[in-house]
Amino acid sequence: MDGTKVAPGRTAGLYAGAAVLRLAIFTLLPGLANLLTGRVEVSTPVTSFKRQGLFLYNRNVSPYDGGVYHQAPLFLPLFSLLPSFSSFPIFTYLLYIVVDLLSASALWRIADSGEAGSSALFTSPRREKRWSGFGIAALFLFNPFTVATCIGRSTSVFTTCAILHAIAKAVSGAPFGAMVALSFASYLSMYPLLLLPPLILLCYDRQCPERAINSGFRFAATCVATVAGVLAVLFQLSYFITGSWEFLPSTYGVQLTLSDLTPNVGLWWYFFIEMFDSFRSFFLAVFWLHLSSYVGGLTLRIRRQPLVVLTLLLGIFAIFKPYPSISDTSLFLAMVPLYRHVFPLMRYTFVIAAVILYAAFLGPAFYHLWIYAGSGNANFFYAITLVWGLGQSLLVCDLMFAVLRDEWEVERPEMVGKEIRQI
Amino acid sequence: MTIQQPLDKGAAAADLQNSAAVAAPAATTSNGLPLPARKEPPPEKPSDVRRRSYIILSFWLIVLCLGLPIWWKTTTIYRADLPLQEMLDWADGKACRPVFPLRISIQANALQEQEAQNLLRLTQHALDDLNDFSGHHLRLQLAPPAASENRDHDHDSVLTIRLLPGETTTASFDPHAPVLDITYPPNTLPSPTSSSSSLATYVAGQLRSTFAEEQATISYLLSTNSIPSEHRPQGLSPDVADSLSKRTTRSLKYAPTYHLTFSLFTSGPLPSSWDIEDAIHQYMKPVLDVLSPIHNFTIDTQVQLYATPGVQNQVLNKEDLSSFINAAEWPLSPSIGGAPTINFVVFAGNQTIAVPPTQDSADSSGTAPAPHSWLIPQWGTVYLLSLPSDTAHLSSEALKQPLLTFTSHLLSLTGMPQSGSLPLRLSTLARIRSADLLLRASSTLGSLARLALALPSISIPSSVADGVSKTMAHLRLACETLGRPEGLAHARVAEAEAERAFFEKSMVGQLYFPDEHKIAVYLPLLGPVAVPLVMGLLNELKAWRKRRREAAEVAQGKKKE
Q: What is the pLDDT of residues A51-87, one digit of tens each?
A: 667 777 777 778 887 777 888 888 888 888 887 777 7
- Give the domain CATH number at B185: 3.30.379
Q: Are B292 and B331 in contact (CB under 8 A)?
A: no
Q: B422-454 and B462-480 helices cross at what angle (nearest 10)?
A: 140
Q: Are B88 and B446 in contact (CB under 8 A)?
A: yes
What is the C-alpha separation between B201 and A29, in angstroms, rounded? Answer: 103
- Chain A: residue whose CA lies nearest to B526: A286
Does any domain span residue B487?
no
The residue range of the domain holding B332 is 252-357+369-413
Residues in chain A with CB shorter than 8 Å from the CB of B69 are none
> Which whole number is the average pLDDT over B534-542?
91
Question: Assign residue B37 a region: left if phi > 0, alpha if psi is -120 to 50, beta otherwise?
Answer: alpha
For every residue of B421-484, DSSP letters joined together read: -HHHHHHHHHHHHHHHHHHHHHHHHHHHHHHHHH-TT--B-HHHHHHHHHHHHHHHHHHHTTTS
Q: How many domains does chain A have?
A: 1
Q: How far is A82 from chain B (nearest CA, A)?
A: 44
Q: How far is B469 from chain A (nearest CA, A)?
A: 26
Phi, psi (degrees; rounded to nearest 5) at B349 = -160, -170
* Size of the A and B interface in Cβ pairs below 8 Å: 52
Does any domain span residue B402?
yes
Give residue B295's pLDDT band: very low, low, confident or very high (50, 70, 90). Answer: confident
Residues in chain A with CB shorter than 8 Å from the CB of B42 are 412
Interface ipTM above 0.85: no
Could you write out the three-class secondary structure of B336-375? ECCEEEEEEEEEECCCEECCCCCCCCCCCCCCCCCCCEEE
Does any domain span residue B89?
no
Look at B532 and A213; give whichever has higher pLDDT. B532
* Domain boundary residue, one of B198, B213, B228: B213
Q: Are residues B167 and B273 in the same domain?
A: no
> Which whole number is the average pLDDT over B255-281?
83
Maximal CA-CA distance, chain A: 70
- A289, B70: Cβ pair inside 8 Å? yes
Q: Which of residues 297-316 of A touch B (CB under 8 A)?
A: 297, 300-301, 303
Please write the tens of the pLDDT for every residue from A150-178: 988 888 999 999 999 999 999 988 889 99
- A282, B75: Cβ pair inside 8 Å? yes
Does any domain span residue A422?
no
What is the C-alpha separation between A272 and B250, in angstroms, rounded? Answer: 48
What is the C-alpha separation between A420 and B404, in angstroms, rounded? Answer: 100
Could you write out the three-class secondary structure of A286-306? HHHHHHHHHHHHHHHHCCCCH
A7: which residues sit within 8 A by CB, 6+ positions away?
A: none
- Give the residue from A336, A405, A420, A400 showing the smallest Cα distance to A126: A405
Phi, psi (degrees; rounded to nearest 5) at B288 = -60, -40
Q: Are residues B209 and B329 in the same domain?
A: no
The residue range of the domain holding A208 is 8-415
Say how many CA atoms lie within 13 Å of A107 toward its Cβ.
Answer: 31
- Chain A: residue whose CA lies nearest to B60: A293
Instruction: Give me the count of residues in chain B.
Output: 561
What is the C-alpha separation between A114 and B382, in angstroms, rounded? Answer: 92
- By Cβ distance, the residue of B59, B509, B526 closest to A297 is B59
Per-residue pLDDT at B1 exceeds 50:
no
Q: What is the pLDDT of residue B5?
A: 38
The H or E element that residue B420 is part of is: none
Does any domain span residue A3?
no
- A286, B51: Cβ pair inside 8 Å? no
Please write the tens of the pLDDT for every residue from B117-126: 777 778 777 7
What is the C-alpha separation between B468 and B86, in angstroms, rounded? Answer: 10
Q: Are A140 and A103 in contact (CB under 8 A)?
A: yes
Say how many CA atoms lie within 13 Å of B280 toward its Cβ.
Answer: 17
- Chain B: residue whose CA lies nearest to A296: B58
Least confident range from A185-194, A312-321, B24-33: namely B24-33
Does any domain span residue A291?
yes
* Domain boundary residue, one of B213, B244, B279: B213
Does any domain span residue A285?
yes
- A285, B51: Cβ pair inside 8 Å? no
Residues in chain B with CB shorter than 8 Å from the CB of A300 are 51, 54-55, 58
Is A282 an 8 Å CB contact of chain B? yes
* Domain boundary residue, one of B166, B197, B213: B213
Q: Are residues B275 and B389 in the same domain?
A: yes
Q: A326-335 and A144-151 helices cross at what angle (nearest 10)?
A: 140
Q: How many domains does chain B have?
A: 2
Q: Are residues B265 and B350 in the same domain?
A: yes
Q: How far is B87 from chain A (nearest CA, A)?
A: 27
What is the C-alpha separation between B280 and B399, in angstroms, rounded? Answer: 9
Does any domain span residue A90?
yes
Q: What is the pLDDT of residue B34?
A: 45
Tell me which DSSP letter residue B79 carries. B
Does any domain span residue B397?
yes
Please give the span between the terminal C-alpha atoms of chain B, in angstroms, as a whole number: 21
Mean pLDDT over the full length of chain B: 74
Q: Are residues B136 and B280 in the same domain?
A: no
Residues in chain B with CB shorter than 8 Å from the CB of A277 are 509
Q: What is the pLDDT of residue B31?
A: 43
